Amino acid sequence: MHCPKCNQTSLKPHKFKNTDVVVDVCQRCKGIWFDANELNELLPVASKDLQVPKDAKPTGMTCPKCLVPLEAFSYPQTCVEIDMCSKCNGLWLYKSELKEIKIVRGKLEKKGKLETHAPVAGIKGEALTWVNWAIEKLMKFD
């Protein structure tokens, strides 16, 4: 597989310490390719069922596995912009982005505010957001 950022650089396997997770890393730009669900295996605070949202932006990079365009969007409950493949659900991150996701979502978990699953898109997501808002308002009256 070739690096989506550097194009010509081959990705090398890298195993994270104390885990069974093996990702692919670019030795040049230090970007990390996570196959679908590898981030969930590495980080207990990762967002489950993550999908490319409809409002994602094209990145100009292609998936190293599928060769389809990667799309950029903010990782749930963070300001980290990630690149994801809509076909295989692989993720392209840099070490600093991985660290920020871990820190921010870890703090949210400690505060009891971590959303464990990715937001639901479309009208269903809007309805769930409204229901959650209404429940919060009603609970303030208790």
What pLDDT score was predicted for residue 122? 64
- What residue segments make up the domains of the chain, in order of their start? 11-116
Give CA angle at 95 (90, 98), nearest 5°. Answer: 60
Helix, strand, coil percentages in the chain from 3-state DSSP, rounded to 5: 25, 25, 45
What pLDDT score was predicted for residue 49? 86
CA distance linking residue 133 with residue 137, whole number of Å: 6
CA distance linking residue 102 with residue 78, whole number of Å: 10
Its pTM stands at 0.80
**Nearest alpha carbon to residue 48 among 9, 77, 17:** 77
Q: What are the per-10-residue average pLDDT scores of the chain (142 residues)?
A: 89 92 94 95 90 93 96 94 96 95 93 77 66 76 61
